[in-house]
Structure 1
Amino acid sequence: MSNVTDFPIPARQLSEYEALVSAGPAVLDAIPGAVYICDHDGWLVRYNAEAAALWGRAPDLDHARERFCGSLALFLPDGAALRHEDCPMGEAVRAGVDTRNAEVVIERPDHSRITALVNIRALRDDQGNIQGAINCFQDVSAHKAAEAELLRKNNDLEDFFENSAVGLHIVSGEGIIVRANQAELNLLGYSADEYVGRHIAEFHADAPVIGDILQKLSKGTKLDRHAARLRAKDGSIKHVLITSNSRFKDGKFVNTRCFTTDVTNLREAERAHRDSEERLAATYEAATIGIAEADEHGRLLRVNDAICQMLGRSREQLLDMTFLDYTHDEDRDEDAALFSRQVTGDLGSYSLRKRAHKPDGTTVYLDVKGSAVRDEDGKFVYGVRVIQDVTEAKHMEDRIRESERHLRDLLEALPAAVYTTDAEGNITFFNKACIDIAGRVPALGEKWCVTWRLYTAEGVPLPHDQCPMAVALKEDRPVRDVEAMAERPDGSFVPFMPYPTPLHDAEGNLIGAINMLVDITERKRSESAQRVLIDELNHRVKNTLATVQSLAVQTVRHSGSLKEFAPQYEKRLLGLARAHDLLTSRNWKDAPLDVLAREVIGPLSDAMGQQVNIDGPAVALNPRAALSLTMALNELATNAAKFGALSSEQGRLSLVWKVADRAGQRWVELLWQEAAGPPVTAPSRRGFGTRWIERCLERDLGGELDVVFDRDGLRCQMSFPLRENPHP
């Protein structure tokens, strides 16, 4: 029986990847091109010397291993950065994707870049598993540069042909148009489809001319600015000059290349010039304006009839003069200086208005336009002077100017802001009041309005192109009964009413508009004050009615009969009336405490200085505090006059006060002290007077009250906080 060694196991054949990896370095270096191999994870395992040369570096395969590529950095052809893991080698080892003739840009350590053409193939084992991939790449930078240069030249040539300012077309040996640029098409008005592919003779207005041109070109004769006429699409005839030569190949006439120069305008100008010369000779004398020619010294060489009539002199007289001889003395130097500069060439033409003397002594105003005729060398030949009598126009201008000045002075004197615009809304004039209301100096030419910013009366931003002036111009109608708000650059606001009104010329055409801005600040303040006053009045009336009602109820409650009720009720109503009179006299503004006290106590005492002492610092009471304190003092004073210190001549009354600080709040502390009057007996029960004073001090003012019925005289301490803005 044979031993198993008698049956040798055949050696397994190496895969491509294994064969390439196990091969010595000399094998890869023998390959004519840059080559490197990566394993199935993308790790660089082999590369040849040419790959290192293109990378500009030799990666270390034993220590700091690298993946996918040995270059410093990779980029796409458009310059976008390409990560190594996203390069074609990455796709090959991950998905087995082969790459053929793809371009990438390799950056070397010295930051130079080359364009490489890569070819990558995945390497598989006999089971089809990816073991790695091989990349064969080569430097195609020189090829890319040559390709770019060729493309640039082709683009330049194409650009020259298509965008040339001169018409270009190519005609085949059979006379068929094979190509034409846009200038050629624009010249004749055809599209490319209508022009290219047709025989060139179809577009020539003169058959013998095109026949002669084609015959010369077929024989190799060059054409230089050969005159011809072409028929445009719209039926018009174009005069052109054709420059062309022929292209031959193997002795055969292939095509022609033609430059077409449009000289239609030149021909028309030449014809117009001839017509002009003829017309000038015919109209020179018939012209209604003066025409004269003068030599370099200003002596007149030629004049027409109009200037003779204008100056009141014959032709013979004028031809024996210089134009300075009849010029006004004050205008002579200016005319002479301008003409001298024109003769020397410093000035091509000039215009001036001057005065001239007529033989009868009258003065006329002349508008002079001077130009020069020169020879081919630029030397002055003669001057042409076109002269118009503007005497009447000058007088009219003076009157208009005076009228405009008067109107401007009038508008400047107006207290209201006034400005004008042209028909497009551009500001043409504004007076000083506009500056005051706008808080800025507008610029002539600004649109629609002189204000900085605009708002409606309700405070909504209003664009200038929607302002009342813009509406008046756009709709050609006056705008009335509109209010607006102008914001100044300093942030302040001015309410105003605009009165834009369109302006028309004698034919009814819209020529602009005038607008008056009336400042209604004071009116708005008055309206606001009136609203506040009405609201305050409503509030006061309600409070007063409530007070009157309370007075009536409390007096009735503490009166034994109607007879007893009437004087008590009347007394308290008079106290309330006094308080209202005092506040009304001060427009319901703050009332001084000392004035209020004297108003209440004064009518009840004939000897204020001897019997009554009122003293304390200046204190301004708001209307609510003044009303309540007046009612309280009136109750005390009435009681003093009836039962207390003021009921006898020996009695004395002292009302003093001070202002104290309580936890950051100012309080008024008053002391009412009676003395030397009838003996005081404490009441068995609290009367209406005491209750009323408590109501005024404690409930209305949030204050404090302490009443002491001392036998020597009533003593009442009152205090309440000072509030600047009390709640209703």
Structure 2
Amino acid sequence: MEDAEETPLGPVADELLSLVADGVIATDERGSIILFNKSAEETFGYKAGEVLGKSIDILLPARFHSSHQVHIQKFSSSISRLSRSMGGGRDVIGLKKSGEEFPIEAGLTRHDLAGRIILTVVLRDISERKQIEEARRLVTHEISHRLKNLMTVVNSVVSLTARASESVETCENLLLERLGAIGRTVDLMLLDDWSGADLGDLLKAELAPYRDYRGENYRLSGPEVKIPPQWALSLTLALHELATNASKYGALSRPSGVVQIEWRISQQPKGSMLQLDWVESGGPLVNPPDRRGFGSDLIERCMGRSKTRLSYNPSGFAAHFQVML
């Protein structure tokens, strides 16, 4: 406490420092604390009387004590630099009275007052800023990952469409339709911070162009379920292909036709499984195709052949999917 009594700072200066928003801590050349302003009290959880005369090390995690002492001694004896940022490009970590560690931003200055070397640290708790930076980093990483996946899907769609199209015009029209489906799904996922898309919303978006005036040519039945991003685009493309084919050749091409879409969730050893059934009825008589078409290839490519079953029943086409959520 003797050092605290020798501080050259008077009561007026102490009162002014209590108004400073940043923490201000001063030590002598040995590292003993001789000033601890109000903001420093709020930041570290100590009252000034608890730390005055004690080593500055009380405010640092033990693993930094040795290196901090070396830095302080070098800075105290230096004849060139009077100020510098603490950390040297590294995060500076403080230690609260509660034992909690937290990141700080600090600047260190050296003064010669009345023949004594005084070191002053002006510091700020940057925990909130670090949390924001980490959240931004995670979002950036996630967006990059999602965009790469999106481009992979787009490249696959472009390649498959070009191979199956008989003319440039046909290729263009199909691409616009399929890329439009992808775009609608991306919009749905962006509404929920790219965390996925509601299955009911995906189905309604794909079937909306084919809805009759009574709204009875398709029926949806199942619990609310969010499709994760890694499946949303693939499922959308498969549903888009099913809806397009149904409007051209299946149940949605006839006023009497109906598409019944039902889904359910079952618990499996590896997690939750979505089982979705697309069943058409009331449309033209269905004949099994002579050869595999582009639509079947695209659907199985999107969903995986082991997770897809396509049935060409005379009464109506049906598709069954299984997806691990």
Q: TM-score range by the shorter chain?
A: 0.7 to 0.9
Instruction: Determine whether 1:405 maps to 2:15.
Output: yes
Secondary structure (helix, strand or coil) at the match of 1:572 reads helix
Q: Equivalents in 2 of 1:452, 1:440: separation in Å?
A: 13
Q: Which residue of 2 aligns with 1:465?
A: 69
Q: Which residue of 1 aligns with 2:53?
A: 445
Q: Which residue of 1 aligns with 2:321?
A: 718
Structure 1 residues 677 and 419: CA distance shift in structure 2, 3 A? farther
Q: Equivalents in 1 of 2:116, 2:206: separation in Å?
A: 71
Structure 1 residues 407 and 578: CA distance shift in structure 2, 3 A? same
Q: 1:72-104 CA distances to partner (integer Å, 9 max, x unpaired)?
A: xxxxxxxxxxxxxxxxxxxxxxxxxxxxxxxxx
Q: Equivalents in 2 of 1:421, 1:473: separation in Å?
A: 11
Matches within 5 A, 1:134-145: none
Structure 1 residues 599 and 497: CA distance shift in structure 2, 3 A? farther
Cα drift, residue 660 of structure 1: 0.9
Secondary structure (helix, strand or coil) at the match of 2:103 reads strand
Percent identity of equivalent pairs: 30
Structure 1 residues 406 and 707: CA distance shift in structure 2, 3 A? same
Q: Equivalents in 2 of 1:592, 1:445: separation in Å?
A: 62
Q: Equivalents in 2 of 1:709, 1:512: separation in Å?
A: 87
Secondary structure (helix, strand or coil) at the match of 1:500 reads strand
Cα drift, residue 493 of structure 1: 4.0
Secondary structure (helix, strand or coil) at the match of 2:119 reads strand
Cα drift, residue 691 of structure 1: 1.2
Cα drift, residue 717 of structure 1: 1.0
Secondary structure (helix, strand or coil) at the match of 2:272 reads strand
Q: Equivalents in 2 of 1:523, 1:493: separation in Å?
A: 15
Structure 1 residues 580 and 428: CA distance shift in structure 2, 3 A? same
Q: Which residue of 2 aligns with 1:632?
A: 238
Secondary structure (helix, strand or coil) at the match of 1:499 reads strand
Alignment match of 1:514 (pick from 120, 131, 137): 120
Instruction: Determine whether 1:669 maps to 2:261.
Output: no
Question: How many residues are aligned here?
Answer: 309
For the Cα contact (< 8 Å) 1:704–1:719, is it kept in 2? yes
Alignment match of 1:599 (pick from 205, 210, 235): 205
Matches within 5 A, 1:201-220: none
Alignment match of 1:479 (pick from 66, 75, 84): 84
Matches within 5 A, 1:226-237: none
Matches within 5 A, 1:426-441: 426-431=32-37, 434=40, 437-438=43-44
Q: Which residue of 2 aligns with 1:106?
A: none
Q: 1:498-532 CA distances to partner (integer Å, 9 max, x unpaired)?
A: 12223454x6x555233233333344344444444
Q: Equivalents in 2 of 1:543, 1:611: separation in Å?
A: 34
Q: Equivalents in 2 of 1:488, 1:697: separation in Å?
A: 53
Q: Equivalents in 1 of 2:34, 2:212: separation in Å?
A: 74
Q: Equivalents in 1 of 2:116, 2:252: separation in Å?
A: 84
**Aligned amino acid, residue 401 of structure 1:** P
Q: Equivalents in 2 of 1:661, 1:494: separation in Å?
A: 42
Q: Which residue of 2 aligns with 1:502?
A: 110
**Aligned amino acid, residue 404 of structure 1:** D
Q: 1:199-249 CA distances to partner (integer Å, 9 max, x unpaired)?
A: xxxxxxxxxxxxxxxxxxxxxxxxxxxxxxxxxxxxxxxxxxxxxxxxxxx
Secondary structure (helix, strand or coil) at the match of 2:266 reads strand
Cα drift, residue 535 of structure 1: 3.8
Q: Which residue of 1 aligns with 2:309?
A: 706
Q: Which has the larger radius of gyration?
A: 1
Alignment match of 1:697 (pick from 303, 308, 322): 303
Alignment match of 1:569 (pick from 175, 187, 193): 175
Secondary structure (helix, strand or coil) at the match of 2:304 reads helix
Structure 1 residues 421 and 547: CA distance shift in structure 2, 3 A? same
**Aligned amino acid, residue 592 of structure 1:** D
Matches within 5 A, 1:185-334: none
Q: Equivalents in 2 of 1:609, 1:500: separation in Å?
A: 72
Secondary structure (helix, strand or coil) at the match of 2:289 reads coil
In structure 1, the gaps of 5 or more residues are 1-399, 723-728
Q: Which residue of 1 aligns with 2:3?
A: none
Cα drift, residue 595 of structure 1: 3.1
Cα drift, residue 670 of structure 1: 1.0
Secondary structure (helix, strand or coil) at the match of 2:26 reads strand
For the Cα contact (< 8 Å) 1:417–1:434, is it kept in 2? yes
Q: Equivalents in 2 of 1:445, 1:612: separation in Å?
A: 79
Q: Equivalents in 1 of 2:109, 2:45: separation in Å?
A: 23
Q: Equivalents in 1 of 2:145, 2:168: separation in Å?
A: 31
* TM-score, with length taken from structure 2: 0.78
Q: 1:121-163 CA distances to partner (integer Å, 9 max, x unpaired)?
A: xxxxxxxxxxxxxxxxxxxxxxxxxxxxxxxxxxxxxxxxxxx
Cα drift, residue 704 of structure 1: 1.1
Matches within 5 A, 1:24-423: 401-408=11-18, 410-411=19-20, 414=21, 416-423=22-29
Structure 1 residues 490 and 593: CA distance shift in structure 2, 3 A? farther
**Aligned amino acid, residue 638 of structure 1:** T
Structure 1 residues 538 and 404: CA distance shift in structure 2, 3 A? closer
**Aligned amino acid, residue 477 of structure 1:** L
Q: Equivalents in 2 of 1:561, 1:510: separation in Å?
A: 88
For the Cα contact (< 8 Å) 1:424–1:512, is it kept in 2? no
For the Cα contact (< 8 Å) 1:437–1:494, is it kept in 2? no
Cα drift, residue 718 of structure 1: 0.6
Structure 1 residues 425 and 663: CA distance shift in structure 2, 3 A? closer
Q: Equivalents in 2 of 1:569, 1:607: separation in Å?
A: 28
Instruction: Determine whether 1:424 maps to 2:30.
Output: yes
Q: Equivalents in 1 of 2:257, 2:267: separation in Å?
A: 33
Q: Equivalents in 2 of 1:634, 1:436: separation in Å?
A: 59
Secondary structure (helix, strand or coil) at the match of 1:628 reads helix
Alignment match of 2:152 (pick from 546, 554, 557): 546
Structure 1 residues 490 and 688: CA distance shift in structure 2, 3 A? farther
Q: Equivalents in 1 of 2:204, 2:99: separation in Å?
A: 46
Q: Which residue of 1 aligns with 2:288?
A: 682
Cα drift, residue 672 of structure 1: 1.5
Specify which structure has the bigger relative contact order, considering alpha-carbon pairs within 8 angstroms and separated by 6 or more residues: 2
**Aligned amino acid, residue 211 of structure 2:** S
Secondary structure (helix, strand or coil) at the match of 1:654 reads strand
Q: Which residue of 2 aligns with 1:56?
A: none
RMSD: 3.4
Q: Equivalents in 2 of 1:451, 1:545: separation in Å?
A: 50
Q: 1:240-265 CA distances to partner (integer Å, 9 max, x unpaired)?
A: xxxxxxxxxxxxxxxxxxxxxxxxxx
Cα drift, residue 420 of structure 1: 2.9
Q: Which residue of 2 aligns with 1:555?
A: 161
Structure 1 residues 543 and 424: CA distance shift in structure 2, 3 A? same
In structure 2, the gaps of 5 or more residues are 1-9
